[in-house]
Structure 1
């Protein structure tokens, strides 16, 4: 491309961003900014250039929700306040440089609390006898004891790694005075488990008011760590809490599961902040490992964890400008691929028949990455889980069934099993057959001449910055766009949300975003089914009352009253009994909650007032129990006779309106159940957060009139604020 064309393209890109602004003068005139909806998506991101100019916060006047009336306020008065949100997406180029910041000030990190020793009567038992452990070893024993009933503690690899590290800590801290602990099988952690289990139950049973107080105190303590000052503006910090020590779980079948995660000390930590910023004070008796002033990086603190030797960072939060720009660049890079994808596909398809084996392997791997969204894959250390991607597939990971069926069976990222039986291009099938040819055997690489660096070098010939991950992002977003295009814009909001989730599910399946079906799933499904049954019971009951009032109604509308004969006496009695038990349970829970709340207030009121309130709670509870029991008695009697009470306020119109409301509720609950069932084994969140361009979700919300809150959680709305403000109903990937 010529320089003249480049200039023209850049000029066209800049002209697509339309703003009307007025500069604030000394009299304080208000700054107004109008954002062209598609400004971010059409804008070319600059190359890395150090930025030296000061970045100011955009001030936008917003209407504040009316406050509750106070003696000094007017109910009708609407107040205005300034929103200090830094809207970097209005000009993302300003932050796209090698120099990440000019000034940076923060409060450091929060360390987990020190270990609290077990009571003297709570011991580890070894060979049937209680033993005394040094405090350091007791803490590690507690980590295992607390998990005793979990699946982790039943895993032999977890047990082996834990016991090895436990013995090392025991040895380093002086050993056990009573005996040598050298057999895991002789260790009994049940007393430790009972102690921690009791503490968990006590924490759960705290009254809501006390939980709220604890939460408020915690938030007050953490407030100064949540934010930092970046170039004079307030930015949110992400993971400012240092991980507590414990036993490493790992994802999937990790070889180091159960190993001891040691306590991180201030001496292990390197802080990063501005030269002129005050250095946070370390905990008493400690010093920071190092303090840096590196403004070319976007982290605030780092340390090396002991399990894998990986470096951990404290970074800016998901909704920070740095993370937002990173996300925007990632999705724009994927959008850029659509300009090159046809050329890439033509090239790798021609290379599938190449005389050079390396070209055939490159072409076949690219085909698998493009069509089946495989990750590139790379070399793994012996102490890492045996997960693979495309380049690291081995002989045993694929099975070939003529004429062109391939069965993939391997552990992908996070040790999630990738098992798919798919039809492939005939030439790709032939190539894989060649790649498995003798003398290849299990354990040998399928692509023995290929690694991710060679593959990425091939990708770079077509597009700067193109990697296997860009293919995944492109294909995920392209699939989502195609799915949305096929959705008919009709039905209720709930129906549209179900359709959106179905589209999201197609992307999750493409990317192999599976999840283990939650243990509570079946119980949740049963609960929803019971809820639907009870609504149908209520609906049939209303229809039967209508017929009691006027039997001729059935002749006038046979279809409407058809289901009144579906509910047998036995089934109705079963539903009423189940409903009754739950209603009495709700009344009892309310009573327990009120008692706990009063117990918490006891310190601030007199003895007489406490006794009075206790009696009032008991009296109120008795009234509710009596009323509920009376209602249950009535409903059971009605179920046996299938004759129902007719109130003087009932009219056919009112009962019909109630039936219609129940029909709507049944419909929405059934949709909720369908959604829950279909998504039970698929993780929709991973693809929605990382692979689907968020502007597609925003476009769907605006085009289909679905509140964005139905599609994005609060966290995702904050993370993708740039997408919410920059995409409209006509935006396309």
Structure 2
């Protein structure tokens, strides 16, 4: 660059070409040296904590920072902003790494609490331990000492301590990467040459195994302009079904797979304890277990199956018109609707309790527009005399009669006897049984979502612009079936035909259709615990393991390029820095009708606030329209770069990284490693951090203590990798309830001690533990004891009444005569006796020994058991308190390799059930069965 260019202001430098959106670049081609120097002089760094750790995380309502323009572009003018929650709707695409979870009940406040727990689709910073989105309006808490359970003895600030630990882990990663490449370099030159030249097709696996040794596709050491770009390789789609490497050395080959003879012994000698349905058990009994992760022949090409048989899909039941007395009220008067229009009205009417939807102006506007359209097509609304009624104003529509009807139906269904519920479920399961499984290459595999989505209202996620639109009923003529050529095609419903029947062995879907809201394709896939889904998870984590070999070079390169004079290179390096350090998503281009969501590459001027000397505040709508807020300290050079990228003439609406796209970023990353994309960094950082912590861990004590040790490590991963969240509004109440349970156990201990004194009055003087041992715990007082006694009596009554109800249901189901109310009264006498006993104890101060043949020795044993229960519950309380600011589930399920959890389980002898639910054990079955305690990420 010529010296004359140095004096040209950045705004006046030549801008070459246009952005992907067709607008011209507002940033110059190159950055003048004079500007770099001027900014260094003007922004001298002061002493601060090492960068790399989030200061604050989560959604906020207002900005209290320097004169930063309104947040999030399109939402700038709104007086009040939604807290940015996500609604897991049936119409939304689910990703392979999305966890299986239960829905949340609808909140009556303006919060979004129906996001699936630990969903990968939601920004990590905005979820609590139950998956709930905390209401906006509160500034997220600072990182606290309790976040990782460290002592407060050190004078070193926690943030600085964590940042140094993170830097140490990164240094360790760099050394390991160099050591791995050095070990691979020892392989015979002939084999290395064959490894590099034998395949330039991205359909081949990243690692080929021959003669028991792993060989990898290497990267060249050419370093053009500081970027150590590897030999160009064809970019691999991050979501494809192509195989990944299984390991990077002969040792890992042994650790991961083991010898075939050992496998056979394991299959015969070990049996996993599994909770299974009868159908699951039947499927397993039919054939010997297939350990696909040990089969080198699977996944080498693009063909996913050779034979495929299935029964098709299950359609939702047809619409049943409302009773004549249940009508939509318009302007206070009942109106009649055609069945098609009435069905749409019921979509809204049945969900009036979901206030965060039905009170959302966008939801109302979109629904009413579609409702009016269907009214026009079906002849409109009519009054009791048959005269046409113009439905023009939403505010005049009263859906309450509909809601009351559906609410009564729900209550009636809920009140059904257990036997009746069981019978209905059995009938439903019998109808759906043929659809639950398919035959995939001769193996019985469970199908996931074999039900076609019912019609309803699209809820979207966060502030989706199409929320409230009507999801139309899917017809057979819209559905394409994928099945084997030799298989019998499942018949379409009577009077209908399938859109198309395909025989595509490269597709992992069984059926598909296009929905009408976003014109997205919906697929019927195999269940999460199937071989195909398991292979997808396996490949995801293997790709992260592959990154372990290249991470040092990538970090060295982007650190050098942070100072590159070429604007495009500097923007790219800054983006990779933010993605690696702070787990930002890369982001994709959005259409005009799509939600205004962004990621790192698509950040706009108003989404980033700079706070000297090196604090950056991110505030934008992230994936799924959920607000992402994070306040971080960055490297001085990265801070300076962001300042340059925001320099005039850029203003609101302009992209910060205007010379970078997600596609170009991922293409650059694929030069280091085939298939490497921005999202792999999040998985790698979490898994490698957990692996590092596990190596140095020594977990002893009870199961509860070991679980706490695991959670402490998981929590540290979440913090070090910036997977944090805000504290749930109900956390305080939950902790108080847990505290009451511990106090209840202490009260039981005190009663047992008083019983010991009742049996042996002189024990208090003889006991070496002293007289204080028998005194009431300082946490307890008489007022609390009396309240607790009332609670115990009421609890006893409820148990008796519940047992009585179940016994009567059983008698009714078996055709026996039900018990009369007198029987219940006789049973409740036990609770009354307990109340009288407490009353007597409070009056006399004496607690008589209970049970058959009571003795001091037996009571001492009771004390030991109570002590253990208190200790375990105290660990749970401490763990819960420590976890309040960290999204542990997100890290554990989506980003930490599940094999590391299995390693902890086996190494420290803790049942895997303590970490993975039944659903997750099925999902990660490959991980549970494929590694031993000496396996390493």
TM-score range relative to shorter protein: 0.7 to 0.9
Deviations 1:85-105 (A, max 9, x none): 322112143233122111111
Q: Which aligned pairs between 1:128-277 and structure 2 lie closer than 5 A?
A: 128-150=332-354, 151-178=356-383, 179-277=389-487
Q: Distance in 1 between matches of 2:211 and 2:718?
A: 35
Query: SS of the residue aligned with 2:601?
Result: coil
Gaps of 5+ in 2: 1-184, 197-206, 215-249, 259-263, 274-283, 384-388
Among 664, 670, 686, the alignment partner of 2:868 is: 664
| Deviation larger for 506-515 or 251-260 | 506-515
In structure 2, relative to structure 1, the CA distance for the partners of 1:113 and 1:389 (3 Å cut) is: same
How far 1:676 moved relative to its partner?
3.7
| Deviation larger for 382-391 or 185-194 | 382-391
How far 1:522 moved relative to its partner?
6.0
Query: SS of the residue aligned with 1:95?
Result: coil
Deviations 1:614-646 (A, max 9, x none): 33xx34422220111111111133134432123
How far 1:41 moved relative to its partner?
6.7
Relative to the length of structure 1, the TM-score reads 0.87
In structure 2, relative to structure 1, the CA distance for the partners of 1:118 and 1:502 (3 Å cut) is: farther
| Deviation larger for 682-691 or 284-293 | 682-691
Q: Distance in 2 between matches of 1:432 and 1:438?
A: 12
How far 1:320 moved relative to its partner?
1.8
Q: Which residue of 1 aligns with 2:107?
A: none
Among 12, 15, 23, the alignment partner of 2:212 is: 15
Among 584, 590, 600, the alignment partner of 1:380 is: 590
In structure 2, relative to structure 1, the CA distance for the partners of 1:3 and 1:157 (3 Å cut) is: farther
Does the Cα contact within 8 Å between 2:588 and 2:602 map onto a contact in 1? yes
Does the Cα contact within 8 Å between 1:37 and 1:726 map onto a contact in 2? no
In structure 2, relative to structure 1, the CA distance for the partners of 1:189 and 1:81 (3 Å cut) is: closer
Among 298, 310, 318, the alignment partner of 1:94 is: 298
Q: Which residue of 1 aligns with 2:192?
A: 5
| Deviation larger for 446-455 or 671-680 | 671-680
Among 805, 826, 834, the alignment partner of 1:631 is: 834
In structure 2, relative to structure 1, the CA distance for the partners of 1:13 and 1:479 (3 Å cut) is: farther
| Deviation larger for 542-551 or 199-208 | 542-551
Q: Which residue of 1 aligns with 2:667?
A: 457
Does the Cα contact within 8 Å between 1:380 and 1:386 map onto a contact in 2? yes
Among 509, 518, 523, the alignment partner of 1:313 is: 523
How far 1:304 moved relative to its partner?
0.4
| Deviation larger for 539-548 or 674-683 | 674-683
Q: Distance in 1 between matches of 2:702 and 2:837?
A: 37
How far 1:81 moved relative to its partner?
6.4
Q: Which aligned pairs between 1:46-125 and structure 2 lie closer than 5 A?
A: 61=268, 83-125=287-329
Q: 2:354 matched to 1:127?
A: no
Among 432, 441, 445, the alignment partner of 2:651 is: 441
How far 1:409 moved relative to its partner?
1.9
Q: Which residue of 1 aligns with 2:39?
A: none
Does the Cα contact within 8 Å between 1:59 and 1:82 map onto a contact in 2? no
Query: SS of the residue aligned with 1:93?
Result: coil
Deviations 1:299-343 (A, max 9, x none): 110000111110011112212222222222221111111111111
Q: Distance in 2 between matches of 1:458 and 1:95?
A: 26
Query: SS of the residue aligned with 2:741?
Result: helix
Query: SS of the residue aligned with 1:461?
Result: coil
Q: Which aligned pairs between 1:572-587 and structure 2 lie closer than 5 A?
A: 572-587=785-800
Report the aligned-residue RMSD: 2.9
Q: Distance in 1 between matches of 2:439 and 2:416?
A: 37
Q: Which residue of 2 aligns with 1:303?
A: 513
The size of the alignment, in residue pairs, is 680
Query: SS of the residue aligned with 1:698?
Result: helix
Q: Which residue of 1 aligns with 2:200?
A: none
How far 1:376 moved relative to its partner?
0.7
In structure 2, relative to structure 1, the CA distance for the partners of 1:207 and 1:96 (3 Å cut) is: farther
Q: Which residue of 2 aligns with 1:326?
A: 536
In structure 2, relative to structure 1, the CA distance for the partners of 1:386 and 1:8 (3 Å cut) is: closer
| Deviation larger for 362-371 or 314-323 | 314-323
How far 1:592 moved relative to its partner?
3.1
How far 1:371 moved relative to its partner?
0.9
Q: 2:593 matched to 1:593?
A: no
Q: Distance in 2 between matches of 1:399 and 1:239?
A: 43
Q: Distance in 1 between matches of 2:430 and 2:878?
A: 42
Does the Cα contact within 8 Å between 1:58 and 1:84 map onto a contact in 2? no
Q: Which aligned pairs between 1:661-700 and structure 2 lie closer than 5 A?
A: 661-679=865-883, 682-700=886-904
How far 1:412 moved relative to its partner?
2.0
Does the Cα contact within 8 Å between 1:377 and 1:390 map onto a contact in 2? yes
Q: Distance in 2 between matches of 1:566 and 1:367?
A: 50
Between Structure 1 and Structure 2, which shows a larger proportion of helix residues?
Answer: 1
How far 1:203 moved relative to its partner?
1.4
Q: Distance in 1 between matches of 2:550 and 2:270?
A: 45
